[in-house]
């Protein structure tokens, strides 16, 4: 069974909508683990639009006894190299990052920046960090990720989730079996939800599923009745 890692960025998105202190991603992480999450994932973006440096620090302290539970998604920049080397998450996932995007739009182009990324991975490995690269289900990209020393890859499931056809599912399956054949460990994520997860969860050899938006969305809906009841109770009791 693949491990379920919860991306809690959007707890921080709601907090940042008001620039206040709630909802708190750290409390969200604790509750997610109580609910059975095998890991917590956050993306520290250059623009800090949701998760910020303090969140990353607090999460890393909370998960210190089991650092393997903590995945930090980040762009391959000098700033992130320095932060991750201090924080020491269990896994780093390198992702492409554009300022205007609403979410990560595609896999990292590893073949297009092979030399740069090879050096970058060397620096991360020197700091004893384990590295995954978020990539499209593309053999050339997967092979290059292996060649430059990635420990894991994360297959971008976005094309499948946008068009959940046999063709797109097979591309994910083939990418995962090719990665396994090369000796890479494989994760998968992006756009996975309660409707499209089953065929992906059934694929052999996926180590971790990284899921964010659909779980945070569901949390709002399963929690809203109770939240209203609590407020009603307070108002009634005056
Ligand atoms: N994996 C990666 C590399 C991502 O960038 C994201 C989005 O932050 C996810 C998984 C989770 O995607 P979603 O929020 O659509 O579940």
- Tell me, what's the pLDDT at 168? 98
Question: Ligand 1, from 8, 11, 104: best to mutate by most atoms within 8 Å of Cβ?
Answer: 104
- What's the mean pLDDT in 206-235? 98
Q: What range defines the domain where residue 194 resides? A: 3-236
Query: What's the sign of the alpha-carbon dihedral 39, 45, 50, 55?
Result: positive
Q: pTM for the whole thing?
A: 0.96
State how far the Cα of 13 lies from the Cα of 29, in Å rounded to an integer: 14
Please tell me the residue having the least CA distance from ligand 1 atom 6.
Answer: 190
- Is residue 105's pLDDT more than 80? no
- Is residue 102's pLDDT more than 80? no
**CA 8 / ligand 1 centre spacing (Å):** 10
Which residues are catalytic, by number?
Answer: 43, 73, 190
- Tell me, what's the pLDDT at 24? 98
DSSP string, 175-199: HHHHHHHHT-EEEEESS--TTTHHH
CATH, residue 54: 3.20.20.70
Which atom, in ligand 1's list, is nearest to the CA of 191?
15
Buried b (16+ CB within 10 A) or exposed e, 186-222: bbbbbbbeeebbeebeebeebbbbbbbbbbbeebeee
Question: Ligand 1, from 37, 44, 51, 73: best to mutate by most atoms within 8 Å of Cβ?
Answer: 73
What is the total count of domains within the chain?
1
Pocket of ligand 1 (CB under 6 A): 7, 9, 43, 73, 93, 95, 103-104, 134, 154, 189-192, 210-214
State how far the Cα of 16 lies from the Cα of 43, in Å rounded to an integer: 14
Q: Which residues contact 157 (CB under 8 A, 6 or more apart)?
A: 172, 188, 189, 190, 191, 192, 200
């Amino acid at each position: 069974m693949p491990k379920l890692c919860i991306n809690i960025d959007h707890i921080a998105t709601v907090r940042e909508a008001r620039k206040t202190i709630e909802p708190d991603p750290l409390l969200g992480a604790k509750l997610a683990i109580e609910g059975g999450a095998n890991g917590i994932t956050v993306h520290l973006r250059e623009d800090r639009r949701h998760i910020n440096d303090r969140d990353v620090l607090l999460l890393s302290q909370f998960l210190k006894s089991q650092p393997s539970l903590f995945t930090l998604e980040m762009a391959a920049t000098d700033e992130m190299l320095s932060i991750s080397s201090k924080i020491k998450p269990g896994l780093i996932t390198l992702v492409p990052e554009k300022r205007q995007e609403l979410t990560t739009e595609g896999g990292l182009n590893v073949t297009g920046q092979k030399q740069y990324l090879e050096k970058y991975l060397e620096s991360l490995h020197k700091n004893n960090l384990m590295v995954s690269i978020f990539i499209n289900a593309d053999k050339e990209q997967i092979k290059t990720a292996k060649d430059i020393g990635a420990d894991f890859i994360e297959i971008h499931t976005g094309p499948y989730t946008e068009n959940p056809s046999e063709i797109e599912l097979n591309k994910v399956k083939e990418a995962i079996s090719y990665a396994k054949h090369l000796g890479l460990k494989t994760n998968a994520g992006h756009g996975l939800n309660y409707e499209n997860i089953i065929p992906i969860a059934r694929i052999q050899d996926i180590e971790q599923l990284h899921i964010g938006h659909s779980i945070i969305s569901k949390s709002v809906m399963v929690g809203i009745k109770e939240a209203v009841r609590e407020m009603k109770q307070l108002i009634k009791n005056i």
